[in-house]
Amino acid sequence: MVNGVQFSTLFQQIINGLSLGSVYALIAVGYSLVYSILSFSNFAHGGFLVVGGYICYGLLMGKGFNIWIASLGALVGAGFVAALTERLAYKPIRERTSMTLYLLIASMGVSIVIENLFVIVVGGRFRALPQNTFPSALFSLGGNVTVSAFDIFSLVIAVTFLGGLQLFLSRTRWGLAIRAAACDLRTAGLMGVNVSLLIAIVFFVAGLLAAVGGIFLSVRYTLYPQLGGITTKAFVAAVIGGLGSLPGAVVGSLILGLAEMLTAGFISSQMRDLVVFSMLVIMLLVKPAGFFGKQIGDKI
């Protein structure tokens, strides 16, 4: 019987972990996408997630729209905010200097601005999306194994969006241009790609994916201005997978989600963050460039 209980916990935590990991993946992929094009860590990425969360909440609770329209608004809104951030804050810097450090610091500034703007405008309270927004029933898979419909639902949606991104990158003209720019932005520009528009599209897509993650996270953990801080874990996932690699970001996120949930299920819930950061340190010790990252080939 003990084994049975353990097995059901294991199974449940694996589903939970995959679900959480797939949400991380949505965030990490957007972050990696930006990194692969501009090679800087956009720390405002967490802000886009919060923007998405609040737009969804506002449309749902304030304006009484249904969840689908609210979500759509959140996705588009966050994508728009991301592209706007790029245009207002990053583009002038990019045009002036090639030092990515300045972009990094500007992105931290943006992140602080977004967070505190929400603190001032809507307040620091925790806000919960209504219970019935998403399927939330628990259903049994026989024996003691129960799974929450929300976990399955967010897993499915996340996979759908990741698949959509994959299709976008591999099948469309802009997708091809983005992949070319990830190899070499300057050359892509010389080949006639409209770099400005391309970067705007990349930010829009990144913001959109972050908003999907933001909606799921605000159901899971409630919504508050500092929710963006959770992107730290997505950054960690991207590093574990290999900075700038999209498959790496997905794999890293799933590993991280599983590790977190298995720790929560079998050790203690308090240890889960510690496990995440220990994994980062161990990974950097063992395979510093991550699973899919470029290994350093030269001897410098």
Partner 1 sequence: MRKSLLGNAAFVALGLVLAFMPLSGYEEGIVALLCINCIAAMGVSLLTGFTGIFSLGHAAYMALGAYTAAIMTVRYGVHWLPAIVAGGIIAVLVAWLIGMPTLRLTGDYYAIASIGLGEAIRLILENWQSFTRGARGFPGIDSYTNRAVSVGFFTVLGIGMFNLIYSRLGRELKASRDDRVAASLMGFHTPASRMKALLISAFYCGIAGALLGGYMNFIQPSMFDMMKSTELTAVVVFGGLGSMSGTLLGSAAITSVMEYFRDISQYRMLIYGLLLVVIMVLRPEGLLGDRELWAFVPSLRGGVKRSEAREGGEGR
Partner 2 sequence: MINSRVLLELDGVDMFFGGVQAVRDMSFTIMDSELAGIIGPNGAGKTTVFNVISGVYSPTAGSIWFREQDITPLMAYQVNRLGIARTFQNLRLFGRSSALENVMTATQNRYRYSFRENLRGHLSPSYRPDPDYSYSFVESLLHVRNWAGTEKRIREKSMELLDRVGLADRANQAAGTLPYGMQRRLEIARALALDPKLLLLDEPAAGMNPEEVSALNGLITGIHRDFKLTTLVIEHHMDLIMEICPHIVCMNFGAKIAEGTPEEIQNNAEVLSAYLGDEPDAHEEAVGR
Question: Which residues in this chain contact partner 2 in the complex, by CB under 8 A?
Answer: 297-300
Contact 39, 100 (CB under 8 A): yes
Report in angstroms how near the CB of residue 104 gets to partner 1 at its nearest. Answer: 6
Among 11, 65, 80, 102, binds partner 1 (CB under 8 A): 102
Pattern 220-239, binding to partner 1, x per CB under 8 A? Answer: ---------x--x--xx-xx
Q: Among partner 1, partner 2, none, what binds residue 251 when CB lies within 5 to 8 Å by partner kind?
A: none
96 or 171: CB nearest partner 1: 96
Q: Among partner 2, partner 1, none, what binds residue 97 when CB lies within 5 to 8 Å by partner kind?
A: partner 1
Q: Got the DSSP string for 176-225?
A: HHHHHHHH-HHHHHHTT--HHHHHHHHHHHHHHHHHHHHHHHHHHH-B-G
Instruction: Tell me the C-alpha distance between 173 and 283, whole Å.
Output: 36
> What are φ and ψ of residue 139, in 5° steps?
-130, 155
Q: Among partner 1, partner 2, none, what binds residue 297 when CB lies within 5 to 8 Å by partner kind?
A: partner 2
Pattern 30-49, binding to partner 1, x per CB under 8 A? Answer: -----x---xxx--------
> With b meaning 16 or more CB within 10 Å and e meaning fewer, what string describes 150-164?
bbebbbebbeebbee
Residues in the chain, total: 300
Distance set, CA 93 to CA 30, 80, 202 (Å): 21, 19, 17
266 or 277: CB nearest partner 1: 277
146 or 232: CB nearest partner 1: 232
Pattern 243-272, binding to partner 1, x per CB under 8 A? Answer: x--------------------------xx-
Instruction: Tell me the C-alpha distance between 104 and 44, whole Å.
Output: 9
Q: Which residue has the tokens 């963050």?
A: 273
Alpha helices in the chain (DSSP H): 2-38, 45-57, 67-85, 91-96, 100-121, 149-171, 173-183, 185-190, 195-221, 231-241, 246-266, 272-286
Among 120, 149, 191, 197, binds partner 1 (CB under 8 A): 120
Residue 273 in the binding site for partner 1 (CB under 8 A): yes
Among 14, 72, 117, 122, binds partner 1 (CB under 8 A): 117
Among 96, 171, 173, 186, binds partner 1 (CB under 8 A): 96
95 or 298: CB nearest partner 2: 298
